[in-house]
Structure 1
């Protein structure tokens, strides 16, 4: 894997240190200590990293989510990763690392040159590949994971998908043009300004480019939620159902958490319950959220019908 880091040296060093080797099953074992996220999600510590990640990666890919309790974007990305891990049903495992509770792994992450969280690494056959840096809505995370595993299959690192299995999104698509690639690379490294500039360049060339529209909408959403605490925002929205701006912020939090239908329903309800400027603000924000999904997405189609009903 281009850019991969070999974890073998770290594993060998850990085995020489008393107490560093995890107890329990090795590479072929089932997930040893499932987290609250489900059967295919495991909490990993300084002591269990080698067994639950390095050794396990010899038989199944492992995505490692580095997070912390104080990190708002981590709370947005984490549930999305857990949902997708459970959907994958064992095709890959999600390992969650609380960097505050596990300082050795936190320091190791910094040694890799990573300075911010959330950060997700992919570990396959003992090789660590930096994968995601920063939060993103569910469709973008899902697509990134599909593209990662398709690339690994093309390199022969993973076996081909079983016959009849749905190919990864974009697997047969032509190579992205340089501007699109620049935009996606900027998103991956958390460079929102660079990503927006590239997406706007695409829109200048083709104002109806759906990928560029989604990209700009994603950047704007990411900026809006950067300073929000998800739990506090949703609690405030529950306490102030008539405050449209509070409902708008809550809808943004739900979008980055993969709860698109809840976000749409929330704003449709706000349109139905308000009038004047408040109603217009809720309506316009809902329309802006539609740009995060393909125009033919059934969730968008359903929400558009609900909005029309609320307006008329």
Structure 2
């Protein structure tokens, strides 16, 4: 299976760059929601911004002590926000090609990436309270626009060669499969975890998302929307657009489409739409306020 390429507008394409010889971490990165970023994993870190925000802290230990201080403070905040964003620390001394690709004028610099689109946040260090308040405001704006996913916590262990924090080892095989574009293998790995522990909510959410990726592979969004517009009561056509909306971060649109479908249909079609919607709830997470709201709307549509 060929690897799925990241081609969203605003994405930075490093596919033509080569890993420099002797590249490595500038130091161990600690924290549940932070990674050390280099040319080898930069693209996958960007891709993770499709489901939840990524914050890149660019630093140069040799040229700017302030940039290191700011990155360290952002790391503290990444733990406080508990997965609302993943912090990527980018040492531009060791990874100059990333700085060139991102057109980094100077450090310190912190950039937010949401759904592949970069936006500068901070260009100088500041008291942690000020940084926390600014981040809170930005994340609230993203949530209001329907983009409020969370990253899974890292295990806290640091890879000796790359300096990158490892994912919880339970999820590593599935994550590795996703990173190499093998969605079928990811589905199988998550299913193994659920078979071993049916109460593993993170594995269940991972399985739901992997299944969504499998359903939408190779699907043209415009064609899918045209088919759904032409056949408003066709469950397959409507659920496909809902899947694509969810994958694009338009969570409420996906939920509302299927809730309206439940209202319009009956018997087998209605049950099929309801079951599909519940599967999307699992992909987003049952604690998400949008899921809780949609569950209430679904109950109203059913009764």
- In the other structure, the counterpart of 1:201 is 192
User: Is 1:78 aligned with 2:8?
Assistant: yes
The counterpart of 2:278, out of the listed 282, 287, 297, is 287
User: Is 1:140 aligned with 2:51?
Assistant: yes
Partners of 1:296 and 1:154 lie apart in 2 by 35
- DSSP-derived class of the 1:299 partner: helix
Work out whether residues 135 and 256 of structure 1, in 8 Å CA contact, stay in contact via their aligned partners in 2. no
The counterpart of 2:87, out of the listed 150, 171, 183, is 150
Shift of 1:285: 0.4
- Gap change, CA 1:236 and 1:128, over 3 Å in 2: same
Work out whether residues 36 and 88 of structure 2, in 8 Å CA contact, stay in contact via their aligned partners in 1. no
Shift of 1:144: 9.2
- DSSP-derived class of the 1:242 partner: coil
Work out whether residues 271 and 279 of structure 1, in 8 Å CA contact, stay in contact via their aligned partners in 2. yes
- In the other structure, the counterpart of 1:264 is 255
- Gap change, CA 1:236 and 1:281, over 3 Å in 2: same
TM-score (norm 2): 0.55
The counterpart of 2:180, out of the listed 181, 189, 196, is 189
- In the other structure, the counterpart of 2:289 is 298
- Gap change, CA 1:197 and 1:154, over 3 Å in 2: farther
Shift of 1:140: 3.3
- In the other structure, the counterpart of 1:273 is 264
Shift of 1:172: 8.0
Work out whether residues 51 and 249 of structure 2, in 8 Å CA contact, stay in contact via their aligned partners in 1. no
Partners of 1:227 and 1:234 lie apart in 2 by 14
- In the other structure, the counterpart of 1:310 is 301
Partners of 1:135 and 1:309 lie apart in 2 by 38
- In the other structure, the counterpart of 1:91 is none
- DSSP-derived class of the 1:280 partner: helix
Work out whether residues 36 and 89 of structure 2, in 8 Å CA contact, stay in contact via their aligned partners in 1. no
Partners of 2:153 and 2:93 lie apart in 1 by 15
User: Is 1:131 aligned with 2:122?
Assistant: no
Q: Any gaps of 5 or more consecutive residues in structure 1?
A: 1-70, 80-93, 98-104, 113-121
- Gap change, CA 1:262 and 1:198, over 3 Å in 2: same
Work out whether residues 217 and 289 of structure 1, in 8 Å CA contact, stay in contact via their aligned partners in 2. yes
Work out whether residues 53 and 86 of structure 2, in 8 Å CA contact, stay in contact via their aligned partners in 1. no
CA RMSD of aligned residues (A): 4.1
Partners of 1:205 and 1:277 lie apart in 2 by 32
Aligned length: 206
- Gap change, CA 1:162 and 1:211, over 3 Å in 2: farther
Work out whether residues 54 and 88 of structure 2, in 8 Å CA contact, stay in contact via their aligned partners in 1. no
TM-score (norm 1): 0.54
- Deviations along 1:165-213, one digit per CA (max 9) or x if unpaired, are 2699566865544221222222222222332232222212321211101
Q: Any gaps of 5 or more consecutive residues in structure 2?
A: 20-34, 57-77, 95-106, 109-124, 137-149, 158-166
- Gap change, CA 1:172 and 1:219, over 3 Å in 2: closer
- In the other structure, the counterpart of 1:233 is 224
- DSSP-derived class of the 1:216 partner: helix
How is 1:44-123 mapped onto 2 (pairs within 5 angstroms)?
78=8, 94-96=10-12, 108=16
